[in-house]
């Protein structure tokens, strides 16, 4: 599933409603939705090149979100393992 794309000189992210919104309109909920998607499945992200985005604000935001999501995606299993270990004791307590 593609979650970030560059089209016609603009950057877009996919919302919970699977609607494409311009990246400079992203808010906390939009970011959390993207994080959930990255942690839950394999995702696609358009790679940023020098001529991809014409709007400087979108360029900065897209690059920042891209870098964070790419890092999270690359370390997804490590993040999940650490989370599981952190909450293992509480999970075991409530299962009984």
- pLDDT at position 26 is 96
The predicted-structure confidence for 23-79, as pLDDT tens digits, reads as follows 999 999 999 999 999 988 889 999 988 678 989 999 999 999 999 999 988 888 787
Residue 5 has phi, psi (to 5 degrees) of -145, 160
Query: In which band, very low, low, confident or very high, does the pLDDT at 96 lie, cut at 50, 70 and 90?
Result: low
pLDDT at residue number 27: 96
**DSSP-derived secondary structure for the chain:** -EEEEEETTEEEEE-TTS-EEEGGG--HHHHHHHHHHHHHS--EEPPP-TTT---HHHHHHHHHHHHHHHHHHHTHHHHHHHHHHHHHHHHHHHH-
Q: Is residue 83 scored above 90 in pLDDT? A: no
Contact 45, 69 (CB under 8 A): yes
Could you state, in order of their start, the residue ranges of all structural domains in the chain? 2-95
């Amino acid at each position: 599933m593609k979650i970030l794309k560059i089209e016609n000189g603009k950057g877009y992210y996919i919302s919970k409603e699977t609607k494409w919104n311009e990246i400079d309109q992203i808010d906390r909920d939009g970011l959390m939705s993207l994080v959930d998607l990255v942690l839950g499945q394999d995702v696609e992200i358009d790679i940023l090149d020098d001529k991809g985005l014409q709007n400087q604000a979108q360029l900065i935001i897209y690059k920042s979100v891209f870098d964070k999501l790419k890092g999270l995606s690359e370390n997804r299993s490590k993040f999940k393992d650490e989370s599981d270990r952190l909450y293992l004791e509480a999970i075991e307590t409530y299962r009984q």
